[in-house]
Amino acid sequence: MLSNQALYLFLRRLIQKNSKNYHEQIQIKDDSIGNSYEKIFGRFLDENVTQVDIQDPYIRAFHQISNFLRFCELLIKSRAKVVCINLLTSQEANDQAKQTQARQLNEIKEHLLRKYSIDLIIQYSNVLHDREIRFNNGWHIKIGRGLDFYKAPEFKLAIGSYDLDLRPCHQTTIDIFHADSFSAKSS
């Protein structure tokens, strides 16, 4: 049974979405927990999602690529029927780091295609700044820190090392829009 508050929030979101003026903002506080990718993105991953576009200039270092991998795992576990992920990111500066980044992303690409029939298209841009995730069911999510809003674990076997619901976060803002809200503003 839904509480009155939960019912109110559900109805408010439904009305906002249907009014074509949907905008939701989530403030993640510094050191807060309970902010897993599943909690933040899961409700937007319905069976109509077949393509995901990710723009994040910081999918370069190992921990950032690991966060991207965790996001891909969420896509696989969700109700979505993803067949294509488009990743636009920037490249590492030095040649060795650039090769490591390309190798790690290509490992994910090959595994997604071989095991899950998901095509990962990787593109690079040196002028990319904004961080955004778009699902082809109309949901657009802008995250101030991109996928990298989790703090490093205190030590290798600290609680929260593997379960992101238990991992402390950096402060960030998440803006959620629906594509209908863009067309409503322009008309």
Q: Where are the domains of the chain?
A: 20-186
Alpha helices, DSSP H, located in 95-178: 95-116
pLDDT-based confidence at residue 103 (cuts at 50, 70, 90): very high
What is the torsional sign of CA 76, 36, 124, 86?
positive
37-56: pLDDT as tens digits: 999 999 999 999 999 999 99
Q: How do residues 154-182 score in pLDDT, each as one tens digit? A: 998 999 999 999 999 999 999 999 977 55
Per-residue pLDDT, 128:
87
Of 74, 69, 26, 38, the C-alpha closest to 166 is 38
pLDDT at 187: 43
pTM assigned to the model: 0.85
Distance in angstroms (rounded) separating the CA atoms of residues 52 and 119 = 11
Q: Into which CATH architecture does domain 20-186 fall?
A: 2-Layer Sandwich (3.30)
